Structure 1
Amino acid sequence: MAALPTCLVALVVALGFLFVRQGSAARTTAGVSVEQRQEVESLLRRLNKPPLATIESPDGDIIDCVDITKQPAFDHPLLKNHTIQMRPSYHPRSLYQNYNSTSHPITQTWHQNGKCHENTIPIRRTMVEDVLRASSISMYGKKRPRSIPNLNSINRPDTPNAVKGHQYGVAAAQDTKCYGTKASFNLWKPTIARANDFSLSQFWVSAGSYSGNDLNTIEAGWQVYPGMYGDSNTRLFIYWTRDAYEHTGCYNLCSGFVQTNTQIAIGGTLSPDSTYGGTQYDIDIMAWKDPQSGNWWLQVGGNDVGYWPSTIFTTLQHSASSVEWGGEVASPDAGQTSTQMGSGHFPNEGFGKASHIKNLLVVDSSNTLRDPSGVNLIAPDSNCYNVQSGTSSNWGRYIYFGGPGKNPNCP
């Protein structure tokens, strides 16, 4: 029997995708109102683009290989006529070749069962149950308005450094003009006490303020978030906003971020995890403003992944004014939850026991990576979660952070 033409194979895959998705939706939305079901199906049509190929990951994810020109980014009204920048025009120069890079590389679980081909990008398929776990359909994939502190207002009273329901162990550097950051993130799998809690390790590149309602952020790192993903796997994530999380922005590959990489699934599981007293795994993540295009590029593990177009921002169209690195725990019972941050151990336990972020660097106006200056530490409730910083010849500027949450000293 002759092989089917490529175009027919793609059509069969796409029709199968639609059939399975609709059948799954019917089963999962049983008991949900007709109006809610229509909202869910409308959202899934926007998020899940017809794939040219599909890969089932051992961790339960379905990875769709989607035509690069059909990705969700182009649903953004400002990107309707956007021309894809396939690669950055420049990479930041490094003055620190002696800093240790990742010695134990990270992989993504779905790679065990396949890879996406040229001119496609891998997208973790959003399922009906993913949407229904959110507090509301409209809030799926979004952070709550003003639920994140204005970390770049350390020395100003715009907002408190701690917000109800959130705890931090963070280092923050302020600069009048900053053009990105790079750091190496220690990978862990913290225990989550309840499904709606999350724990993460990330950087924030930001400009603007809460008081002006023009806080712009670019965020990337890893998180464990059962309420969003339906499991306790450690996953790569990104986020952005241009109005202090009020209306714009979202996790991962929603409208806004343009992906160009064929092999990295944002929202996909990262492995392996570090173990207490055992082997440690780190992953390098960098974001920087391309001097030529103005777009904010993302690099993960040395691989260029894609970019946030400059046009979707306001204050970040020019430069950032602060960069933060560290951990966050979100829980309705923050201060009373036993959700772990980092490894679940306090910073004073040190290497192999406490979680770290090393080689903290910022990108300056000459597109050069340099040490940050004026670093402040933020740990509003240090008996629950804490942060410490230091410098060394191998790690440059680094932090240890984390904690177990609820304990005899944590009220």
Structure 2
Amino acid sequence: MISTLIVVLCLIIGSVNHVIYGIQNTLKEDLELEKQLKLINKPPIKSIYTEFGDIVDCIDINKQPAFDHPLLKNHKLQRKPNFGKTSVKTSPARSIFGLDKDKCPLGTVPIRRTTKDDLIREKSLLNDHMIMTQKAPGIHVAEVSLKSRFGPYYGVNGTNSIYNPKLDRTDQITLSNLWVQNGQGDAGNKISVGWHVLPYLYGNDATHFYSTWTSDNYKKTGCYNIRCPGFVQTSKGYYPGARAPNTSTYGGIMIEVELSISQDPVTKNWWFQWNGINVGYFPAALFSNLASADQVGWGGRTRPPPGTPSPPMGSGHFPDYNIVHACYFTFVSYRDASGKNHGPEVNQIKTFTDNSDCYGVKYYGYIPKPNVGHVLQFGGPGGNCGN
């Protein structure tokens, strides 16, 4: 009788399916996911239910997931960078990614709670960081970057308009970002931050703020937001993965966010600021080759499944010099070794798009009127782009 029960139990474990977004999961895999969730979701001091149905846990700042990384075992928390805030420009309307009124208590940081369904959807993303690598099949790019011979670089800034491109499939990705990078191939170390629409990560087609990092061109390291240990949060109100409550309207009101990645001159950690607020940092210990950056840049990327049409990028419209049409970065600048920010000259930049029928990118340089600093636009409708 006991032997029969064991056999039946094994059959159940091997055959019961949990299906999310068309992804099947056995009971045995579910048990493994439960173990992962216990490691990912730390005991909260307080939990906040957002207007979008997410649960945000306020975690002791010294017990956040970042410190599970073996390279950060003896890491000393840095509360603030050894430089001031980036200068925040005036905006028609700024987006609040994060907690508005109900912030986490002092000494804690907000972390979006991970669910079992989140982990199941991420199965398709676990070993798929192609959206980050320029030469991977299916990736479409429209970007502006600085030539390495004008480096090294120690930071990048820009004010980015936020949109919600409509996807036809849940397995598509579209994003806008700025980044710092050093090295090529498996030696590629990179940090990027911005906004994206990625249903497989969040279970919805909304626009979310995100961050990524890698020390080997996403071969074995790096992930979105805090899905793996690494990024150290310091803000009690802002967090990676937060949803945008409002987005821009073509020809209408622009909703935007100022983004900045800057290296601390003392600790060499790479700090991320958002509208001048310190969200957190990527510790220098995570990287094999990011004492400085040989490339910084701005722009958009998309990825559809192989053999399918590509989704829109940005506003879904090509650059046309009209600031309320295509997605933009205004006030773009880079930081040099002295800690000073500079707007790129036209001879310092290179633009790249892999398919001009689907997406475009234009760098306009300095525009004095209206006061938008150095400006670029990118984006397009997508379609049959030859992926």
Same-fold status (TM-score > 0.5)? yes
Q: From the superposition, tell whether residues 293 and 239 of structure 1 become closer, same or farther in structure 2 (CA, over 3 Å).
A: same
Identity value in percent:
35
2:113 counterpart letter in structure 1:
R
SS at match of 1:399: strand
Paired position in structure 2 for 1:124: 112
Paired position in structure 2 for 1:10: none
Paired position in structure 2 for 1:20: none
Paired position in structure 2 for 1:354: 326
Residues in 1 aligned to 2:223 and 2:36: alpha-carbon distance in whole angstroms: 13
Paired position in structure 2 for 1:265: 239
Paired position in structure 1 for 2:10: none
- Is the CA contact (8 Å cut-off) linking 2:17 and 2:27 kept in structure 1? no
List alignment gaps of at least 5 residues for structure 2.
1-15
Paired position in structure 2 for 1:397: 374
- Is the CA contact (8 Å cut-off) linking 1:289 and 1:295 kept in structure 2? yes
Q: Deviations over 1:145-180 (max 9, x none)?
A: x65335xxxxxxxxx5xx321111100112331101
Residues in 2 aligned to 1:361 and 1:338: alpha-carbon distance in whole angstroms: 30
Q: From the superposition, tell whether residues 187 and 147 of structure 1 become closer, same or farther in structure 2 (CA, over 3 Å).
A: closer
Residues in 2 aligned to 1:261 and 1:28: alpha-carbon distance in whole angstroms: 36
Q: Deviations over 1:270-319 (max 9, x none)?
A: 23111111101110010111001111111011101111110110110x10
Instruction: Please state if 1:107 is matched with 2:89.
Output: no
1:43 counterpart letter in structure 2:
Q
- Is the CA contact (8 Å cut-off) linking 2:99 and 2:238 kept in structure 1? no
Describe how 1:196-235 pairs up with structure 2 within 5 A: 196-210=171-185, 213-235=186-208
From 57, 62, 68, give the equivalent of 2:55: 62
Describe how 1:5-404 pairs up with structure 2 within 5 A: 32-91=25-84, 100-108=89-97, 110-111=99-100, 114-136=102-124, 139-140=125-126, 143-144=128-129, 148-150=132-134, 160=135, 163-175=136-148, 176-210=151-185, 213-253=186-226, 254-316=228-290, 318-333=291-306, 336-348=308-320, 350-373=322-345, 374-391=348-365, 392-393=367-368, 394-404=371-381
- Is the CA contact (8 Å cut-off) linking 1:350 and 1:400 kept in structure 2? no
The two structures, once aligned, show a CA RMSD in angstroms of 2.3
Residues in 2 aligned to 1:128 and 1:306: alpha-carbon distance in whole angstroms: 26
List alignment gaps of at least 5 residues for structure 1.
1-25, 151-159
Residues in 2 aligned to 1:372 and 1:61: alpha-carbon distance in whole angstroms: 39
2:377 counterpart letter in structure 1:
Y
Residues in 2 aligned to 1:354 and 1:400: alpha-carbon distance in whole angstroms: 6
Residues in 2 aligned to 1:214 and 1:183: alpha-carbon distance in whole angstroms: 26
Residues in 1 aligned to 2:99 and 2:230: alpha-carbon distance in whole angstroms: 24
SS at match of 2:123: coil
- Is the CA contact (8 Å cut-off) linking 1:28 and 1:128 kept in structure 2? no
SS at match of 1:263: coil
The alpha-carbon deviation at position 103 of structure 1 amounts to 3.4
Count residues in correspondence. Answer: 361
SS at match of 1:298: strand
When normalised by structure 2's length, the TM-score is 0.87
Q: From the superposition, tell whether residues 135 and 344 of structure 1 become closer, same or farther in structure 2 (CA, over 3 Å).
A: same
1:106 counterpart letter in structure 2:
S
The alpha-carbon deviation at position 27 of structure 1 amounts to 11
SS at match of 1:44: helix
